[in-house]
A and B are shown apart, each in its own frame.
Chain A
């Protein structure tokens, strides 16, 4: 007991300091909230890697509930350029889910890519950027960015690269991926049309002897048609998808951007 009132700052800290005075048990931590920090702003994205290009696409509708907040809200962002208009960027990020988190995620990744360029004197590779994006997402594992991200670019060999993520940073490199509200509508279509799933060589046999159709890289024009068809289909069946289709094609020449109309209903 004596030590308690010793007034020796070494034994019981600075005396009388308001912060160090004994606390009447104040239960902290037990916080209850009715505020839901998340919403789903709808929309859908899609990315397909080709032999020497990558096509990224997303619709431009932003919804909340049954309301259309905006008919022109881009989901595709060029990342890591040296200027405000990102005209020399070589990596594209697409985000769907909660728009505010998507925006924050995009800005985080963009600044990190810029810092990398300043520090190392060269742009970040897609592979490095993809790993870094995973880390960013996982850092918020317990208050996640509610955003489904897809990263597209060209790998070190100049081949198209698509990396897809879940909101907490689990990721893999893929040939193609659809994300967002209409992902479940678009993905089976892509499986069939890009990876030729369930396509067989006619008259090649019965049952297990049936030969799969041989996979081949798709040409750019084929992919562009595929993307438009995928979204036209999604627009027809999903209310949160529509208004405009933003497409970015990444080639060794840089990033080309087109904006196509979609149904506005």
Chain B
């Protein structure tokens, strides 16, 4: 068994958190991940306050044990963030994951409600600030991940965040199998957050076309767009993302035109299944996923592989003299 501070912190069988994916991470997927022994996460920015309340209720109704933890992910740049910040208190959500900034305005309220807060940090500075605000752990998210991304890679960011803060660090970005989990632990993380690898989960309600695109993806199939607008996003290459990139490099196109072009694109792909003209957000590790499995199989396979990888790692510690 792999047991870390993250198991103890949230009461988990496996130290894995499901990534919050807008329009995709709903109550059903969150419950499946939590039932499988990880921390299931509902995205707060799908439709609006009523939809979030409904998804939290759905998650609770599907949990096999009412004491199992789950979380809500609040993307702080979203206009829905402030309403979501109140709903998690009102509905006694045990854990909140935040993304895109620091949750400073909400921290007092959440800590007073005994909510465990886990900000996603794309730099050591953000991680340090988060720890000071009272976060119980921090997600070090590298740019291999899907959706909104930072510049630093998981390989470089994780050990630096682990050195910068004394709270547990959860590595994210590019982790889709047991080798990734083992590597994350060796880099100083006490757990992992994975989004992309749950896209093909049987319990994931994303459109079948979206799942198919993920399962067909090759290593070089993702692209980062939106740097010009200040919030880069990684998605699969398709007609939409290629045109987005073209517009971005065209000085004659205004920022407003680009924003308008991108608006609603994720919803179009995730809900309507338009994987040509919508944004199929995914991390680089999409290429490492080959079949639809249950959330339970995904997590159990990943941690069995991680345990094997870690058990076999002492083969590198040779008693032989090094070759000259």
A binds B: no
List chain B positions with a Cβ less than 8 A from chain A. none
